Amino acid sequence: MSGVIEVIDGGIGNSIQDAGRFGFRHIGVAVSGSLDTLLARCANALVGNGPDCACIEIRALGPTLEVRHGLVRVALAGDVGALLRRVGGAALDVPAWTSITLATQDVLEIGSLPGGTACLAVSGGIDSPLQLGSRSTYQRAMIGGIDGRPLVTGNLLPCSVHARRDYREYRAEPWSHGDGPIRVIRGPQAEHFQAESLELFLNSAYQVTPQIDRMGVRLQGPQLLHVTPEAADIVSDGVTPGTIQVPGDGQPIILLADCQTVGGYPKIATVIAADVPRLAHLQPGQSIRFCAVDAHQARQALLEREARWAAWARGITFALPNADALYNDPSSGWVCAD
């Protein structure tokens, strides 16, 4: 059984993403996938999906979606809300971190984000075609998602599993990445930078510029000087999401999920895996700092993050139906079960 969702309005910056496209970097294909993999896992968990199911990543203005066929359970994760318009019924505010089941002709209008990233998961995952082992949209190569593009009006999104009309929904506390400096490991070309610049990088604030997309984010701050002008260029070698490159102008660039697979700028540092999802929420004008850790500390941070996420998932509870809403529309209401 399956459901179908139609995109009534694609919004701005929204795309289908899953856990990523692995095993093809050697031929120049980016990993892609959700910028915030933890947020995608949260949304998927709220609708009963596995962590790798494809969902909608929301980056600026959310899409408007209509169920064309079937029952579809959905859940939002992130700093965003939605408005649900039932057929013949009143509009209903839909908060994040709570699932809700949509029926045929229900319309969900997802709002705008103050910044960063949000995620909408649907029961069974979005069943768009697999390309190179993933459903993730990689726009530069025009693969994944729907024709390799962000969502546009008229797209039909198949969902692989019907939700059940059992009136039980699920809720959880909002996931938080925490704050503080972004943790990094010393980069493979750290010796290309003057010693004073290495200290400056770790002891200065950098501002996020408006030059930010799924490929990377440019920062502005104290100039990081290379040991010689020639040291600003290297023979291209491998880069990954979280790599921090510094070109000749001395301003860092943090690479994100859609980054290239090799690069010719020296790498001063790499963001540790535990903190890479935080990069999805950087906003223009935001001030950030870095701190150095070693490989053991980076591994420990990842283990601690995974343990914290497992505890979050165990905290998912039922959301109780709202009696007044159920009286008017048996599939529309819920309250939080505290």
What is the C-alpha separation between 276 and 254, in angstroms, rounded?
10
Same domain, 298 and 323: no
Give the domain CATH number at 284. Answer: 2.40.100.10
Q: Cα 138 to the chain's mean position, in Å?
A: 14
> Could you identify the residue written with the tokens 């935001």?
286
Query: Taking 70 as the threshold, does the pLDDT of residue 338 lie above it?
Result: no
Q: Write phi, then psi, for 80 (nearest 5 degrees).
A: -155, 155
Q: Look at the chain and count its residues.
A: 338
Same domain, 165 and 287: no
Q: What digits encode the pLDDT tens for the residues 26-84?
A: 999 999 999 999 999 999 999 999 999 999 999 999 999 999 988 899 999 999 999 99
Sign of the four-CA dihedral 46, 133, 211, 260: positive
Q: Structural domain tally of the chain? A: 2
What is the C-alpha separation between 238 and 227, in angstroms, rounded?
22
Same domain, 27 and 151: yes
Pairing state between β 290-292 and 182-186: parallel
Provide the residue range defining the domain that includes 264.
182-307
| C-beta of residue 35 within 8 angstroms of C-beta of residue 214 | yes
Sign of the four-CA dihedral 161, 165, 171, 174: positive
Same domain, 160 and 17: yes
Q: What digits encode the pLDDT tens for the residues 257-313?
A: 999 999 999 999 999 999 999 999 999 999 999 999 999 999 999 999 999 999 999
* Structure confidence at residue 88 (pLDDT): 78
Least confident of 77-86, 87-96, 217-226: 87-96
Same domain, 159 and 245: no
Rounded to two decimals, the pTM is: 0.91
What is the mean pLDDT of the segment spanning 148-166?
Answer: 84
Same domain, 209 and 142: no
Same domain, 189 and 279: yes
Same domain, 96 and 196: no
* Structure confidence at residue 2 (pLDDT): 77
Same domain, 96 and 147: yes
Same domain, 199 and 168: no
